[in-house]
Each structure stands twice: as C-alpha cells, then as structure tokens.
Amino acid sequence: MHQEARKYAAAGHTVVLIGHAGHEEVEGTLGEAPGQTVLVEDLQDVDNLQVDDPTRVSYLTQTTLAVDETTALIDALRNKFPGARGPDTADICYATTNRQAAVSEIAEHAQLIIVVGSANSSNSRRLVEIAIRSGTPAYLVDNADEVDPDWLNAVSVVGLTAGASAPPVLVDEVIARLGEFGPVEVVEYTVTRETIRFTLPPEVRRP
C-alpha cells in the first residue's frame, strides 16, 4: 500500500485513504505523501471531502477493514469523483475477507458469536462488528478465560471464529472452556477454502 500511495502521489493525484485514524498501517501510509493524502473514516468524511482536481483522485484502503464498510465508502467516493482510481488488486487481504464472509454466514445460524483475538487487532474487532450488524450478539476474547458463562444463558448454538493472526490453539482452548458448561458438539462451517500459496524468494529457498 505504501508503494501505491507513492505512485499515485507522483502522478499528481489526491490519495484518499479509507481507514481508521491511529492504526499503524494508516499512519505509515499517510507518511508516504502527507501533502497529498487525506484520510476518510466514514460517509460524512467522503461527503465533506474537497480536492484541488476532481479528475485526479485515487484511493487506498486499510487492509483490515470490514469489506461491507469499505465497499460503501468506495461507492460513495466513486459517485462523488467518477474517475477515482483504486489499486489493481483487492486491497483487503484474503484471510481477512474470508473470515468476514464466514462470520456473516455463521451469524444467520448462531445465537452468539465469540471471536478469538486481541483487542488491538483491527480485523478481530471488525469480525465482532459484522456479527452485531447481522443481529447476533458477539464478543471478542483474548483467551478462554475471558469467556463469560452468563453469555451462554438460553444459548444452544455458538459461532466461534478467530482473527487472522490468532493461533489455532486459542480456538481449541475456547472450545474446551465451553465444554465446562455442558456437552459440546463441534461442527466446522466452510464458506471458502484458502488455496493461495506464497512462494519464498529465491535467495531463501533450499537448493
């Protein structure tokens, strides 16, 4: 994203960065071209946005944003500046996108959703927000000890997911914690399969 910010700024564009103030990814990108980059966090920011040349507007997105939020902001930006250009590839990382899609699906079937992840994790917080917007109560826990048994009153179906960087062992520990309050049947819900593979640079590959 930093390289794209420099590229758009070098072409004389106003770079509209969709994200949250204070996020380290956002702060780093703003520093690439501070005189030509403007942060928008919501639809009101887009509505208030003024640029020197409406024909030279580009946009980038914080990679850990909720996809539905990002889409709404991009649509509003393109409506205001029809020639606005975005990156050549999707700016939301695929692991984040897949988890968000899964939470949206699970929220239709679960009475409660627990997200395993750090409170400092933007993508984990987005998962909670997506579940709540879908009408399902959701909580973010850093570990199994934070699961509150009161959440489970009159709840028979719990959806469980994790932020992109949460170790799988933490999910297993939450399942074990839930088992302390009654029998647990684990059913994996598959929305998509991640088939992307990353190739190591030549200099670190084994001969």
Can you tell me the distance from the alpha carbon of 74 to that of 166, in angstroms, rounded to the nearest whole number?
Answer: 29
For 2-80, CATH number? Answer: 3.40.1010.20
Looking at residue 41, what is its pLDDT? 92
Looking at residue 178, what is its pLDDT? 95
Looking at residue 1, what is its pLDDT? 64
Rg (CA), the chain: 20
Are 183 and 133 in contact by the 8 Å Cβ rule? The answer is no
The fold of the 94-179 domain, in CATH, is Cobalt-precorrin-4 Transmethylase; domain 1 (3.40.1010)
- The single residue listed with the structure tokens 């770079």 is 15
Looking at residue 200, what is its pLDDT? 43
pTM of the shown model: 0.54
Can you tell me the distance from the alpha carbon of 37 to that of 44, in angstroms, rounded to the nearest whole number?
Answer: 17
Can you tell me the distance from the alpha carbon of 6 to that of 36, in angstroms, rounded to the nearest whole number?
Answer: 10
Those residues whose C-beta lies under 8 Å from the C-beta of residue 79, and which sit 6 or more positions away, are none
Which two tokens mark 88?
A: 């050549």
Looking at residue 201, what is its pLDDT? 47
Catalytic residue among 25, 41, 105, 173: 25
Quick one: DSSP state of residue 200?
A: P
Can you tell me the distance from the alpha carbon of 77 to that of 71, in angstroms, rounded to the nearest whole number?
Answer: 10
Domain ranges of the chain: 2-80, 94-179
pLDDT, mean of each 10-residue run, the chain (207 residues) = 80 91 84 89 94 92 73 89 74 63 88 91 85 93 95 94 83 94 84 47 48
Q: Is 25 a catalytic residue?
A: yes
How many CB atoms sit inside 10 A of residue 180's CB? 10
Looking at residue 95, what is its pLDDT? 57
Residue type, 204: V
Quick one: DSSP state of residue 67?
A: H
Residue type, 71: T
Can you tell me the distance from the alpha carbon of 118 to that of 124, in angstroms, rounded to the nearest whole number?
Answer: 7
Sheet strands (E) in the chain: 14-18, 37-40, 57-61, 112-116, 138-141, 158-162
Looking at residue 91, what is its pLDDT? 47
Looking at residue 57, what is its pLDDT? 94
Long-range contacts of 10-14 (CB under 8 A, 24+ apart): 11/56, 11/58, 12/53, 12/56, 13/56, 13/57, 13/58, 13/85, 14/38, 14/51, 14/52, 14/53, 14/56, 14/57, 14/58
Domains 2-80 and 94-179 share a fold: yes
Looking at residue 168, what is its pLDDT? 85
Those residues whose C-beta lies under 8 Å from the C-beta of residue 88, and which sit 6 or more positions away, are none
Looking at residue 24, what is its pLDDT? 79
